[in-house]
Homo-oligomer: A and B are copies of this chain.
Amino acid sequence: MVAKGTRRPPEPHETRLRARYAETDQMGVVYYSNYIVWMEVGRVEFCKALGCNYRDMEREDGVLLAVVEAHCRYLSPARFDDEVVVRTWIEEANPRTVRFAYEMSLAEDGRMLATGETRHFFLNREMKRTRLPQKYHAQFGIG
């Protein structure tokens, strides 16, 4: 039995990308800030998989997802042309804030490259904190 008002958090989502030459540095591996960009790629595709297109949320509802914290642990370097799996899920969500978690691994052999989290506030068009509109609650697993 599930208590009234509780919802299950959405399932993790996996998206794939390929490390670009532009993303490498002179150490011969992917430069460290690019994993933070890859988290964004994972987050956008995660939201899309939930039926909650981030572009539309921003354009039509004027809700922006502002980052307030980002954290990344680097385990093994990605290299040029590596296919990378970005696994994304919601760690915690309420109408004021959402926390995403990420695992980035090599598609070829599953080797973990990096793990991370980002924490976000919802902002309106005036860049002030706001609540996530009710219609998106179910998708974010907010009960």
Contacts and interface: CB of A to CB of B under 8 A. Distances in A.
A55 B18 CA distance: 12
What bracket does the count of chain A residues touching chain B fall in? 35 or more
Contact of A44 (B21, B34, B64): B21
Interface string A90-130: 00000000000000000000000000000000000001000
Interface in A1-56: 20-22, 24-29, 31-34, 36-37, 40-41, 44, 53-55
Tell me the number of copies of this protein: 4
A71 B74 contact: no
Contacts of A131: none
A60 interface: no
Contacts of A64: 27
- Across chains A and B, which 4 residue pairs bring their CB atoms closest together, nearest first? A33-B36, A24-B26, A33-B33, A55-B81
14 contacts: A21-B26, A22-B31, A22-B37, A25-B25, A26-B26, A26-B79, A27-B66, A32-B36, A33-B40, A36-B70, A66-B74, A68-B74, A69-B73, A70-B74
